[in-house]
Every structure is written in structure tokens, then in C-alpha cells.
């Protein structure tokens, strides 16, 4: 079975698992009691949640009903907007925010673009990123270097980590923004968001995070974590689909982050003479018709996360990732994720060429990601994965050592 067939085949392929190694609290065929809800487990061993996390049946059923209604009796706009508001409340509850602090954009990258535009950056200002960030951020701020005369500063990772001290060496009185991936897509490194917020605020700067690899996988509570703004797509750990991205802006700075475009959905009331009153809060960022089907899928995904519990999902994923990391070290393979990292992602150096390594994992029906031109392999343990999945991964990894 090749990689394309693994994702698209309609036939059922039995997963090959071994449950020989023990890990406290993670053994058994279904530690979180969720596998029956995820058809992907029938196709093989899926360890690629950082790329795309498969949705549970409840989420795909919700979007299927919506799409079928489009053909027979389309859902009225009012009902779709009510669903959007319900999902706003759900996501706000998930991250400890108020609904007024949650807007919906179309993609994660929209969040940082909106934030950067609002800052009205001037020549001599600087923005501090790190080398574990997503490519959009480098592209955005290199462009602003060329067009506005700002300076992009990048804190380099060492041994797979970028501590707050590495940022502190680059932050000064002209720093306007510190921007990170809450959890790095490269190797799963979990940033010290509290420490970075303290550093940024001490210099009068904001802290922004791309949270697409964090929301739904690690617990987030903005009542305790003083981040200013983050955005997260929904097709990874939030168990949703494509086309919407929850955007958190702390109430205290909402007035300082204006929308960068205008449209009819921002209007709360029409006034005489073509004048308008706008919705308050983060709804001001929602200017036009969104991908409504995605709200039905995301609503079901968020309900599923609430039922299982992000705390439990996090503990489960971290235990599996650490199990994988320990096994890789025992095999003589080199992880590029720091020891003790508290996420469900672990990456390691590939000692073979990509084609050879890919064929071994494909033969075992194991789905994962190759990165850095095939030089690294990234694994992500979702809520439906088991210790047996990790042990089978290690059995195949042993062939690469």
C-alpha cells in the first residue's frame, strides 16, 4: 500500500499491533474508549495527527447532514448564524475566554496578518520570532522589512528548544511583537507562553501565537496564561475541517486590533443614510459569508473533545510521545524533540533515504510525516492511538537504525 492509497482507499486494512512494551496508564486496546468513533483506525496505524487529525464519526455525520440539506432543503442563514454562535461559545469555553474575545477567520495565517496590520509598524520597529515557527510568519515579516523598514529577529533553537532567554537577547524597547507557534509543527516543542508573555509585556510588546498545533491537544486557559492573541485552524487537534480559524483577542486590546476589511456580517444595525453600527468584540473580524459547513463539523468535534476531556487527551498523547522518544533513543536514533517535552509530537532524524524509510512504514501501514527534505520523521499520537501503535512504530524504526 503506498501513501496515497493509505489515505484514500475504501477497503479496510487490519492494523498490525504489538502490545509487548508497558506504559503506565496507556496500555490496552483503547485507553480513552474512543477508537470505535474513528474510522481511520481500520485503515492502519495513523500517527500523522500534526498534519491532519482524522475526525470522529459524529463530526463527519454533522457535516454530511448539512451538505445533504443543501441539496434538498437548504439550512436558512439564520440557523447557520445560530450554529456559528454556538461554536463561538464552545471554543471560548475550551480556552477559558469569553465569547466576545473569539472571532472566526478563514485560516490560521489570517490571524497573524490581522495582528501585524493592526500594529502599524514603522521603520526601526522589530518583531521577534524563533526558528521553530511556521513559514507564513517569516514570509510576512520579510515582506514588512522590505515595505515598512522593520527588522525581523529570529531566536535560534538549540537541541530542539527555544527558551525564553533566547528571546530575551533579542527583545528591546523597539520590539512591537513576539510571535511563536504555541507548539512547533517542526518537532512539537511546547513554548513557555507565560514566560514569553511576561518578557513581551515588560518591553511594551504583544505576544501572538499560532495555536494550530496546540488547541485541542494541550490545555489552554487564557484566564491564567496572559497571551494577547492567538489563532488556530480546526483540521488538526480540534477534530474539525477546513475553512475557519478561531481567533482569540484579549478583551483589553480588542479596541487596538481593528479589522482590516469590511462587510455585511459585521453590521449589527443599519442606520439612515447608509450608516451602520457594528458588532462589538471579536465578531468585528467576520465580514463575509464563512464556510458554514465547517461550523457544523467543528461543533461536533468540540463536543467530542469536551466529552473526552482535553486534559485526558493531553496526558495520553504526552505519554505515548515520550514512550516513542525513549524507544528511539534505545534504538540509537536521534530525536530532535527535547526530552521531557509536554506534547503528543516527537520528531527524529531519519538515518536512511526517504524512499527507503517510507517503504518500510508503508509496508507496515503506518502513516507519519517526513520533513526537512526527508531527513526527519515526525510522529503525532492522537486520542485514538495506543501503546501498541507506538511499539509497532518502534519495530519498524529498528529497521532504520
Query: Which of residues 263, 288, 306 is at a domain's end?
Result: 306
Range 29-33 contact pairs with CB under 8 angstroms and sequence separation of 24 or more: 29/386, 29/388, 30/386, 31/316, 31/386, 31/387, 32/308, 32/312, 32/313, 32/316, 32/383, 32/384
Model confidence at 154: pLDDT above 50:
yes
Per-residue pLDDT band for 29 (boundaries 50, 70, 90) equals confident
Whether 160 and 261 map to the same domain: the answer is yes
Instruction: Tell me the per-residue pLDDT of 184-237, one tens digit each, with 9 for 90 and over.
Output: 999 999 999 999 999 999 999 999 999 999 999 999 999 999 999 999 999 999
The pLDDT score that the predictor gives to residue 28 is 76
- Nearest-angstrom CA–CA distance, 101 and 88: 9
Whether 147 and 210 map to the same domain: the answer is yes
Whether 233 and 137 map to the same domain: the answer is yes
Instruction: Tell me the per-residue pLDDT of 170-186, one tens digit each, with 9 for 90 and over.
Output: 999 999 999 999 999 99
- Percent of residues, the chain, with pLDDT higher than 90: 92
Is residue 47 assigned to a domain? no
Model confidence at 2: pLDDT above 90:
no
**Nearest C-alpha neighbor of 315 from the set 219, 191, 390, 250:** 219
Whether 244 and 296 map to the same domain: the answer is yes
The pLDDT score that the predictor gives to residue 21 is 33
Domain extent, residue 132, equals 70-306
Whether 298 and 324 map to the same domain: the answer is no
**Nearest C-alpha neighbor of 125 from the set 106, 152, 146:** 152
Model confidence at 258: pLDDT above 80:
yes
* Unique residue bearing C-alpha cell 490545555: 219
Is residue 35 assigned to a domain? no
Model confidence at 17: pLDDT above 60:
no
User: Average pLDDT, whole number, for the chain?
Assistant: 92
Per-residue pLDDT band for 11 (boundaries 50, 70, 90) equals very low
Whether 84 and 178 map to the same domain: the answer is yes
Whether 156 and 26 map to the same domain: the answer is no
Whether 87 and 181 map to the same domain: the answer is yes
The b/e string for 57-76 (b: 16+ C-beta within 10 A; e otherwise) is ebbbebbeebeeeeeeeebe
The pLDDT score that the predictor gives to residue 27 is 61
- Nearest-angstrom CA–CA distance, 313 and 306: 10
Whether 232 and 380 map to the same domain: the answer is no
The pLDDT score that the predictor gives to residue 6 is 28
How remote is the C-alpha of 207 from its chain's centroid?
A: 17
Instruction: Tell me the per-residue pLDDT of 372-401, one tens digit each, with 9 for 90 and over.
Output: 999 999 999 999 999 999 999 999 999 998
Contact 234, 241 (CB under 8 A): yes
Mean pLDDT of 88-94: 98
Domain harbouring 198, CATH code: 3.40.640.10
Global pTM reads 0.90
How many domains would you assign to the chain?
2
Whether 327 and 260 map to the same domain: the answer is no
Take residue 271 and report the three cell numbers written for it: 442606520
Query: Which of residues 286, 306, 326 is at a domain's end?
Result: 306
Whether 290 and 342 map to the same domain: the answer is no
Mean pLDDT of 104-120: 96
Region of 38 (left: φ > 0; alpha: ψ -120 to 50; beta: rest) is beta
* Unique residue bearing C-alpha cell 491537544: 217
Amino acid at each position: 500500500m503506498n501513501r496515497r492509497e493509505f489515505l484514500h482507499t475504501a477497503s479496510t486494512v487490519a492494523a498490525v499491533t504489538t502490545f509487548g512494551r508497558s506504559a503506565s496508564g496507556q496500555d490496552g486496546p483503547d485507553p480513552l474508549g474512543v477508537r470505535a468513533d474513528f474510522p481511520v483506525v481500520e485503515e492502519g496505524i495513523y500517527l500523522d495527527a500534526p498534519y491532519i487529525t482524522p475526525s470522529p464519526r459524529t463530526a463527519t455525520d454533522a457535516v454530511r447532514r448539512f451538505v445533504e440539506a443543501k441539496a434538498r432543503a437548504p439550512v436558512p442563514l439564520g440557523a447557520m448564524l445560530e450554529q456559528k454562535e454556538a461554536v463561538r461559545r464552545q471554543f471560548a469555553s475550551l480556552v477559558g475566554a469569553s465569547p466576545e474575545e473569539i472571532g472566526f477567520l478563514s485560516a490560521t495565517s489570517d490571524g497573524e496578518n490581522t495582528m501585524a496590520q493592526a500594529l502599524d509598524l514603522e521603520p526601526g520597529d522589530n518583531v521577534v520570532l524563533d526558528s521553530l515557527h511556521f513559514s507564513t510568519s517569516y514570509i510576512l515579516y520579510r515582506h514588512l522589512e522590505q515595505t515598512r523598514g522593520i527588522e525581523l529577529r529570529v531566536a535560534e533553537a538549540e537541541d530542539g528548544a527555544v527558551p525564553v532567554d533566547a528571546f530575551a537577547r533579542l527583545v528591546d524597547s523597539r520590539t512591537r511583537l513576539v510571535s511563536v507557534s504555541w507548539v512547533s509543527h517542526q518537532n512539537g516543542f511546547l513554548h513557555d507562553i507565560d514566560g514569553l508573555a511576561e518578557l513581551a509585556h515588560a518591553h511594551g510588546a504583544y505576544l501572538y501565537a499560532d495555536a494550530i498545533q496546540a488547541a485541542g491537544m494541550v490545555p489552554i486557559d487564557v484566564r491564567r496564561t496572559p497571551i494577547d492573541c492567538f489563532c488556530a485552524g480546526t483540521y488538526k487537534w480540534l477534530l474539525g475541517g477546513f475553512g475557519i480559524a478561531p481567533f482569540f483577542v484579549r478583551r483589553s486590546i480588542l479596541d487596538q486590533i481593528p479589522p482590516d476589511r469590511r462587510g455585511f456580517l459585521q453590521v449589527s444595525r443599519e442606520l439612515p443614510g447608509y450608516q451602520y453600527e457594528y458588532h462589538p468584540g471579536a465578531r468585528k473580524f467576520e465580514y463575509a459569508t464563512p464556510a458554514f459547513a465547517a461550523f457544523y463539523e467543528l461543533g461536533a468535534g468540540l463536543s467530542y473533545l469536551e466529552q473526552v476531556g482535553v486534559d485526558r487527551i493531553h496526558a495520553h498523547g504526552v505519554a505515548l510521545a515520550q514512550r516513542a522518544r525513549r524507544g528511539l533513543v534505545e534504538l540509537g536514533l536521534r530525536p530532535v524533540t527535547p526530552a521531557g517535552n509536554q506534547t503528543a509530537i516527537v520528531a527524529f532524524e531519519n538515518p536512511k533515504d526517504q524512499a527507503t524509510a517510507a517503504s518500510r512504514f508503508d509496508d507496515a501501514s503506518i502513516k507519519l510525516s517526513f520533513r526537512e527534505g526527508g531527513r526527519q520523521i515526525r510522529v503525532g499520537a492522537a486520542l485514538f492511538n495506543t501503546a501498541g501503535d507506538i511499539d509497532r512504530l518502534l519495530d519498524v524504526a529498528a529497521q532504520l537504525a
